[in-house]
Amino acid sequence: MIKLENISKKYGAHELFSNFSAEFEEHRVSCILGASGVGKTTLINIIAGLNKPDGGIVRFGSQEGELRGSYVFQEARLLPWLNVHDNLDLVLKNARKPLASEKADDLMRVKHGRGDEHFTKEERIELIRKQLRLVELEPYEFSMPSELSGGMVQRVALARAFAFPADILFLDEPFKEQDPKLKEELYESFFRAYKNDEAGRTVLFVTHDISEALRLADTIYVLAGTPAEIVGKFDRAEFSDELKNKIKELL
């Protein structure tokens, strides 16, 4: 369980969060749905540790502290002078291998029992090929990012995030800029990578798009108001067209 306790965050006079508490379950895709400017990105950045809250605590499992995450940003954020393979390899070189016995039931692996071993070169090559296959970019392993389309580079970013041995995967509207047809392809890539993921990763997904949330999420958390609150939580079993309208009203 990821627990946020009494989080507060201000930007100048603008109070984004005040005594905000929430819980997100592990090993599923949790979607934080909200209008632009409500503080979705700030919220996952606080969980990811990229943004410090003014007050409050983020706990992973029963502990407080740092975790290992991977992140798909709104932009692909690939190094333009490295090819696809080397872009993935860059983040894997320093990554610690998960222990063989490690089952994904304790999020606090960084502090106890995370293997000290790095991936070997062969393991990294295999891992990179596997992830590229899942996002259907295997033939482009040695292409430069500039040679790929916008949808393709975002798929590379997705492959990088899944290749990295993270406990939590953060996605901050990574498909925002794409057209509907491309979005569908990216969703497919996401599902394929997610289903093939042995760790059964915890995913925190931020979006303003209701259809996207209904398509991808196991659980939707609707974020609204100033300061922001979770105004609704819905599980996949409840998803329907009616729910869509209900969420629209909440937003």
Contacts of 250 by beta carbon, 8 Å cutoff, 6+ apart: 222, 224, 231, 232
* Shortest Cβ 228–another protein spacing (Å): 23
Between 30 and 70, name the residue whose CB sits nearer to another protein: 70
Nearest Cα to 216, choosing from 183, 251, 248, 245? 183
Member of 17, 60, 119, 164 binding another protein (CB under 8 A):
164
* Shortest Cβ 11–another protein spacing (Å): 18
Classify strands 202-207 and 219-224 as parallel, antiparallel or unpaired. unpaired
Q: Which of residues 24-53 bind another protein (CB under 8 A)?
A: 48, 50
Member of 41, 70, 202, 207 binding another protein (CB under 8 A):
70
Q: Does residue 175 belong to the site contacting another protein (CB under 8 A)? A: no
Peptide bond preceding 174 in cis form (omega within 30 of 0): no
Distance CA(2)–CA(220), nearest Å, equals 15
Between 140 and 164, name the residue whose CB sits nearer to another protein: 164
| φ and ψ of 71, to 5 deg | -140, 130
Q: Does residue 90 belong to the site contacting another protein (CB under 8 A)? A: yes
Binding segment (CB under 8 A) for another protein, from list 36-44, 68-76, 195-203, 210-218: 68-76
Number of residues that bind another protein (CB under 8 A): 19
- Provide the sign of the torsion angle of the four alpha carbons 188, 193, 199, 204, taken in this order: negative
Binding segment (CB under 8 A) for another protein, from list 7-15, 88-96, 136-144, 148-156: 88-96
Between 93 and 236, name the residue whose CB sits nearer to another protein: 93
Between 49 and 225, name the residue whose CB sits nearer to another protein: 49
Q: Does residue 162 belong to the site contacting another protein (CB under 8 A)? A: no
Distance CA(100)–CA(61), nearest Å, equals 21
- What is the token pair recorded at 138? 């295997």
**168-172: strand order across its sheet:** 69-72, 168-172, 202-207, 29-34, 219-224, 229-235
Which residues contact another protein (rule: CB under 8 A)? Answer: 48, 50, 68-71, 73, 75, 77, 79, 81-82, 90-91, 93-95, 160, 164
